[in-house]
Amino acid sequence: MKVETPYSDFSQNVNEAVDVLLDARFSDNVKAFIYIMWFHSFCALETHIFDNPDDLDVKVNRCDFTTATAKLQKLLVSPEFA
């Protein structure tokens, strides 16, 4: 999760934040946050699927899955998501 060569202030801040979150004192808080985020992500996705059933594409090949997960990863590490 850390930036290997942090050249910018943002990269350095990310590395510092990761170090803090990996501290044993915060492990319960981090786990609780992760559980809450996954729950709300699931609820949002579930609601979207129920509200927009025509958007659901059940014919997903390996390439499509990789593309979708890459886009999700890009979102999760973006400054906007943070």
Q: If DSSP states are collapsed to H, E and C, what string results for 10-44?
A: HHHHHHHHHHHHHCHHHHHHHHHHHHHHHHHHHHH
Give residue 22's pLDDT. 85
82, pLDDT greater than 80: no
As for how many domains the chain has, the answer is 1
59 located within any domain: yes
Domain interval for residue 16: 9-76
pLDDT tens digits for range 41-58:
999 988 988 898 887 767
pLDDT at 65 over 80: yes
Residue 2 lies in a domain: no
66 located within any domain: yes
Residue 3 lies in a domain: no
Say what the pLDDT of residue 23 is.
87
Task: Confirm whether 32 is domain-assigned.
Answer: yes
What number of residues does the chain have? Answer: 82
Query: Is residue 82, in this structure, part of any structural domain at all?
Result: no
Q: Residue 30 CA to chain centroid, in angstroms?
A: 13
| Any domain includes 16 | yes
* CA 49/CA 55 separation, integer angstroms: 7
